[in-house]
Amino acid sequence: MNVKFDEIPQLPLLSISGPRARDITSIVYNSVDTEEGSAFFCVTGENTDGHLYIQEAIDKGAGTIIGTNKDILDKFFSLYPQLTFLHVEDSRTALAHISIYFYKNAQDRLIKVGVTGTNGKTTTATYVYNLFNRLGLPCGFLGTTGIWSSKSKLDYRKSTPTTPISSDIHNVFSQLAAQGDLAASMEVSSIALDQKRVEGIVFDVAIHTNISEEHMEYHKTFEHYLHSKLALFRQAKSAVVNLDDAGMSKEILEVVQYPVLTYSADIASGADLIWQNCRTLDDGLAFELIYEGVKRPVEVPLFGEYNAGNLTAAIAAALLAGKSFEEILSVMADMPQVEGRFQVLAGPEGRKIILDYAHTPVAIDLVLREARKLPYRRLIALVAGIGIRDFAKMPKMARAAEGKADMIVVTVDHPGYNDPDDVVDEVIKGFTIPYKQEVRRAASRRGAVLEALKASGPEDLIVLSSGCINGSQIVKGEYIPHSDEEIIEEYFLQQNL
């Protein structure tokens, strides 16, 4: 594609050295991915500076280099005057706007729903995806569980665990639009907002689930975390706001000047949608939903009473997308479970295994409270510290789980470069002594899953929580394949041999 750089809207361009227009074959931010004709962006990350890889990108055939360090760019321009060098204020902002241009504004052909919140992002965004597709509005998905079109999972190497880097987002948008999808539901993390991964996107609907302390290893303060999340609602056309969340709902309503639908479990809240009288059934949830003065019963094959709230948020998004209340209610019985979000698996001899990758104290408390509403003989829970996250949160995970299970297995998810035993030690610090339940430890998630399964008996309930994402464990920079479901299947298969 021939790109005239000084004609790209909102590009923070300071100067151009070399040809002002260039044929670009691809957009890359990792020099390893560079090919002949690539535009290479010198993105500065937490651990490295893209300017260090300019020579490698040029050697691999990059025709355009975009960066913020003019001295370095000028040095390379003196050596390679036939190439184009763009000096920009911010490489991430430039990456976003050049990507929008390169992918021909594919985002304009999609209804974009962005979901942010400490807990419930994946579940709510997936409910939007499933609901839109069942309503005849072909929808893709970008989030923790992968990249999906309305038809299937896309074979796409994710750049981040949750919200992709901007160039990848617009690449996916172009693929969705080319396949005939009309919408995209995506998780939008606080870090993604701060790092401008969704720069230049105007969301048709922005959804708020809740906020509690998280990602302090990145944000340092709760105020910065909140400010980052609020950015989503400054780049949207409409919003869905959870009035039951005191941490952020008021702040959102103060900044928005467009259509808003609010939701709540409190009949006195005055919310637009009220969900109440939720009950756990053998095969899912039943609750009542009130909208515009009309109360309707809802039954869905989903578990976890808090998911009635997440589902209500998705319903609000469908209403803002132009679907009728009656039309939406007619497809509720077809809503599938969300992978790894209060996902209930049946085991032998009446066992039930719940996969819920709750990774915050608030989330693990909710999951265990919901699990205790199901019938069981003994409740066994797995709780993990996440090595690539804030160590100060780890004891809080133990305190949130304490007293809510007959046995707790403590382990580590994504140890990163940490000693797994150090992470487990940090979690265990949060338990009261003497322990209110049996506590065991395992130095790997695989070992912990097996420990929980071995300890279980007939009619027991096993809750496997925490942050196993993207089908892998992050160990010393490597992504090691991991699947709780595969471990469970292999374990019970061996027991039957």
Give per-residue pLDDT as tens, 31-73. 999 999 999 999 987 678 999 999 999 999 999 999 999 999 9
Report the distance separating Cα 93 and Cα 195, nearest Å: 9
Domain boundary among 305, 334, 363: 334
Ramachandran region of residue 335, left (φ > 0), alpha (ψ -120 to 50) or beta? beta
CATH number for 23: 3.40.1390.10
CB 199 within 8 A of CB 167: no
Q: Are residues 124 and 41 in the same domain?
A: no
**Cα(41)–Cα(92) distance, rounded to whole angstroms?**
8
Q: Which of 161-165, 265-269, 332-336 has the lowest mean pLDDT?
A: 161-165
Contacts of 486 (CB under 8 A, 6+ apart): none
Residues 242 and 359 in one domain: no
Domains: count for the chain: 3
Measure the N-to-C terminal CA separation of the chain; round to a whole number of Å.
Answer: 59
Q: Is the pLDDT of residue 112 over 80?
A: yes
Q: Based on the domain organization, do 170 and 291 belong to the same domain? A: yes
Supply 412's token pair: 């580590």
Q: Are residues 330 and 355 in the same domain?
A: no
* Domain boundaries, position 53: 2-102
Q: Based on the fold, state whether residues 119 and 174 are members of the same structural domain.
A: yes
Q: For the residues of 331-363, what is the DSSP string, one character each? A: TGGGPPPBTTBSEEEE-GGG-EEEEE---SHHH
pLDDT of residue 363: 86
Q: Which two tokens stand for residue 282?
A: 């053998």
Both 112 and 87 in a single domain?
no
Q: Which two tokens stand for residue 124?
A: 């709510």
Q: What is the pLDDT of residue 474?
A: 85
Q: Are 318 and 328 in contact (CB under 8 A)?
A: yes
Domain end: 63, 83, 102, which one? Answer: 102
The DSSP code for 165 is P
pLDDT category of residue 468 using cuts at 50, 70 and 90: low
Peptide bond into 138 cis (omega under 30): no
Select from 316, 334, 352 the last residue of a domain: 334
CATH number at residue 310: 3.40.1190.10
pLDDT tens digits, 405-424: 999 999 999 898 999 999 99
Evaluate if residue 497 carries a pLDDT over 80. no
Neighbour tally for 346: CB within 10 Å: 8
